[in-house]
Structure 1
Amino acid sequence: MRITKYAKAITAAAVAAGGTVATAAADGVITGGEAWLIVGAFLGGLGLTWAVPNRTTSTASPEA
């Protein structure tokens, strides 16, 4: 199964932002500072994951 680095990065960004939203919304209010943290988590997850290349595999030896 091939997953492009874009799908991998978007998924990582969504997970990072989702975890931050869950933590920020624990008290029922998301402040401006927490909103910036959510944006930062999304962009950080997106950028850092996109920068790491996927592992290359040879076609001669399929994974079990």
Structure 2
Amino acid sequence: MRFSSIAKSIVSGVAAGATAAVTAVQDGVVTTGEGVTIVLAILGAWGITYAVPNKQPATEA
């Protein structure tokens, strides 16, 4: 299965954002600081995942 860098970035951003959001809503209230943490988790995951290149398939000799 082949995923482009953009697709991998989106999936990782959703996963990171969901993880941060689940942690933030444990007390029933999302504060401004928790909202900023969610956004930074998403942006960080997007940037890091997009920057790392896909592994090149091995060529058969």
TM range (shorter): over 0.9
Q: Which runs of 5+ in 2 are unaligned?
A: none
Q: Which runs of 5+ in 1 are unaligned?
A: none
- 1:29-62: CA deviation from partner (whole Å, max 9, x where unpaired): 00001000000000000000100000010464xx
TM-score by length of 1: 0.88
Q: CA RMSD in A?
A: 1.4
Q: Measure how far apart 1:2 and its partner are.
A: 1.2
For these two proteins, the number of residue pairs brought into alignment is 61
TM-score by length of 2: 0.92
- Percent identity, aligned pairs only? 43
